[in-house]
Each structure stands twice: as C-alpha cells, then as structure tokens.
Chain A
C-alpha cells in the first residue's frame, strides 16, 4: 500500500486500529487495515487540515468498534475450537519420524502441517517446532554414531623396573570415551529420544481436546 504521507492524526488512528485488530486472523486483519488506510487516503487531500482529519476519523468511528464488527461474524476466529482430525495426526507423525523417512524434508512437511492446522495455538506450534528440530532423527543418528565408535582401548607400556621398586610406565587410551564422557552421551541420547516423544504426546493431547476443554470457553 502506498500510504505516502498521511496526516499524523490519521497515522495515529491507524496505529490504534492495528493494535485493536491484533486479535483478528491475519488475513482478515490485513484486509481491514488496508481498506481503512485506503479510505483515509481517499477522503483526505494531501494537505488536509487537522479539522478535516478529525472529521474523517469521527465518521469512521472507534477502531475498537470496527474490529468488533469484523470479529462478530467469525466464530472460528480462535483456533481452540477445532479439534484434531487425520491431518493433525499425520502432522504429529511427520514431526516425529518424518525426518527418518525423508531426511530433513519429512520433518519440514510436519512443521508446515503443524503451522497450517487450526487445532493448535501459536505457543503449541512453537513448542512443536523447537522441541526438537528433526524429531527423532538426531537420536537415531547419535545411536548409529555410538554403535560405530571403536571400543575404548588402553595400552600400558612398561619400561621395566626402576631402582626403588615400581615401574615407570605410561597408559595410552585410544578410541571410545572415558567415564564422564559416556555418562554425558547417555544423558544427551535419552534427552534426544524423550523430548520429541514428549512433544508428540503433548501435541496429541492439545489437539485432541474438545471445545469444552479449551480455556477460552471455560467459565471461571
């Protein structure tokens, strides 16, 4: 939109409208704002006086009222009302194991489906995307890596007895991991395995709830 130079008062009005329109679905919000923006640009000459701007704004009415009118005939405005269907279950499956079937791409398909679906809130979608990227694939890759790791070998070389008893020797360990390393890897591996599974269960639970369960419709 080429809203070249609107009067500061008109800009301030549009800012209030944008703030009020935050609760609308994005496409409805953008449509509404561009129409009102065009309306102001049409009704005001480039060198509009403050009085002219005030009249135009008064005629348009309170931004809250306009947004309320827009929200009125949109019962499905908030996502909590739709419940899970096959689409949501496929999305969860793709997030979890899509990356194993089709590396990276399979998981991205899951992410796209997650964001397209209306069964989840934005918070759910962020969790679904970030915990964990690529789903179970990192855990599986780590498993393969561990299996192909050479076993830890320690070689002690003795250089024979020295005066006063004892041996002079060095111990060289190659390959594998030491004790702390092993523990660390196990913790990481369990986390990589458990987090995606937890997220899948969480998304399933969030998508599976009915309208009555959603916090929006609950009376306190």
Chain B
C-alpha cells in the first residue's frame, strides 16, 4: 500500500511540529499568537492555526514549556510560553536525531545538495 500525500503529510508535520515550538521558545518566552503566526509562516508546516493551541497545551502538561499570563499593552492578556529544563533536553535530543535522520534521507533521495 502506498500512502497518499494526505496520509503521510499530516503525520510528518505532527511529528516535527512540537519540536518547532520548542525551538521557537529556545531564545526566550513568546506568547501564543506570536508562536502560532511564526509556525504558520513556515510554508507547508501548518494547515489550521487553531489546532496549534491544543499542541501548546499538551507541551505545557508534559512540562516541556512553562506558561504565564501577562497583561498586554494593547488588547487582551497574553499567555507567554517559555522552555523548561526538560523541554531543552528534549529539544537537544531531537536536534541530534533529526540531523542524522535528515542526512540519511537526503542521501537516499539525492536531495541533500552539495556538502
């Protein structure tokens, strides 16, 4: 059976999305809307912005990010996300794994370009 694009594409995205979130807050806290827009600006990564909030909630429950509501200079309060120690460790492990994975797949597909 050959998986159609509709089948593998969401799975591929779901697998890497949470690490993209962790990477976005690596450099400091960012609020929900900011994160969601940054992710949806990446071509092909996000189909519906709304479904990213359940993902953020799961990362929070897993203790990979911390959150804090803060007043915003304009508009409603913002929920800020920041990376926890275990989130940092998880991200580091993924970066290592991803690099090996990507290099291997690129070599097979011939998509790696010149080294």
Contacts and interface: CB of A to CB of B under 8 A. Distances in A.
A66 B76 contact: no
Nearest to A39: B33
A35 B48 contact: no
A36 B57 CA distance: 12
A41 interface: yes
A31 B56 CA distance: 11
Contacts of A59: 40, 48-49
Interface in A68-82: 69-70, 72-73
A73 B62 CA distance: 11
Contact of A1 (B47, B50, B56, B77): B77
B48 A61 contact: yes
B75 A32 contact: no
Interface in A50-101: 59-63, 65-66, 69-70, 72-73
Contact of B76 (A1, A60, A63): A1
24 contacts: A2-B75, A32-B54, A34-B79, A35-B32, A38-B78, A39-B32, A39-B33, A42-B76, A42-B78, A59-B40, A60-B48, A60-B49, A60-B50, A61-B48, A61-B50, A61-B51, A65-B48, A66-B48, A66-B50, A69-B54, A69-B55, A70-B57, A72-B54, A73-B58
A43 interface: yes
A214 B55 CA distance: 29
A66 B14 CA distance: 14
